[in-house]
Structure 1
Amino acid sequence: MQLDWDKAINDILSEKMTCQACGAMGEQMIVGYTREAAAAEFATRCKECTDKSDCDARKLVVVCEPCARQYRVNGELMDEAGMMSVLIDECRRNLEDSIDYLATYWKEEIEVDFDDMAKGLDQVDPELFKEEDSWRLRLEEEYLQLHRWFRENHVPIPDPGWRSTYAEEVIGLGYTTLLGD
C-alpha cells in the first residue's frame, strides 16, 4: 500500500489558518484591524510598502489570540470561511475606493485647472492613471482568487450581486474590468 503524502498533508492542513505575525496554526484566528505600526511587517496589504516604520494606516490582519493582544487587533475569532468573507469584503471596499479615485477623487489630490475638471485622469496625468489603474487590476485579480475559493469550497459568496454592480460602474466610466462585461 502506498501513501499519497500530498493528499495526507493537504487533509491535515485543510481548514487550518496561520497567524500572520508568529506563524501559529489553528482552525480559528482573530480577524480584524489594527493601526499598530509593527503590524505593517506582516499585514497582507502592507507587503509592497517601502516605509513601514511609522505606519498608522488601518491594517486587516489574521492573527492568533496572543498576537491579537500584542498588536491590539479589533477583531473576532473566525474560521476559514469567516476569514474569507472578511477578505472578500475588504477587497471589494478597496476596489470601490480605487474606482472612486479614478472617477473623481484624484481631482482633490492634484492641482487641476478648472477647464480640465471634466477630463479623466488618463488624460490629465497618464502616469498617475497607469499606477492607479494597475493597482485596481491587482485588486481585481485578488477578487477573482477569493471568488474562486468560495466556488471551490462550496461556500456561498456573500453579496453575489456586488460583482455585476461594480462591473457596470467601471464600464460606465469607460474602463475595462476583469470582473465582467
Structure 2
Amino acid sequence: MVEPRSTDPRARFEYLAQQVRDELAAAGLPVAVPGAAPELSVGADVGVSGNGTCSRSGTRCDDDTRCDDDTRCDTGTGCDDEEPRVLVLWRVSPRLRHCVQADVKRVGEVTPAIRQSGEVRIAMAAAITAILSAAGFTARDTADEFVPFTVRVLAGPEPGPESDVWPAWSEHRAPPGGAERSAGS
C-alpha cells in the first residue's frame, strides 16, 4: 500500500488506519470490517475520528446520531472538531454486548457480564498497544472517559530499508508459505 499524496489531511489518517488494520491482522487478531454495522463487528475496530465524527460510532455527529450504548451523540459526548485521529477499540461478541446492555438497563450495578466485558477490553487495549509498538507504531491509551479502553495511534513505523521493524504485507514480500507455494496453487 502506497501512502496517498493528497492535500486532504484525512487521507493520511485513513492510510495510517489501514496500516494498523494490516498489522493487527498480520498478528492474528480479527479485524472488524470498516463500515460494517456495529452490531456485527467483532475484534479490533480501527477507525478515523475527528472533524465532527463521533469517536464512538464513527458516524457524522448530529443531534439524532446514536452510539453503540444508545446515548445521543453531541459535541459534549465523544465528538470532536479536532484533527482526525486513528482510534482502535476492541469489540466483544454481540452476545456479550447484548448482556452488558441489558444488565446496565436492568440491574444498575456491576454484573459478571459487565466485569468480563471491561476486563476483556482492558486486556485487548494493552495487547493492541504492545503489538503496534513492536511493529514500530506510536500507540497509547486515549485516557478519554468518553472512549475508555481505546488505543490512539499517533504514527506508523518509519519507512525505509534501514527500519528495524518487520513491515506487515509489503508489496515486495513473498506471500505466506513462500512464492513457490502461491505459484503452485
TM-score, normalised to structure 1, is 0.28
The answer to which structure has the higher strand fraction is: 2
Q: Answer with 1 or 2: which has the greater Rg.
A: 1
Structure with the higher fraction of residues in helix conformation: 1
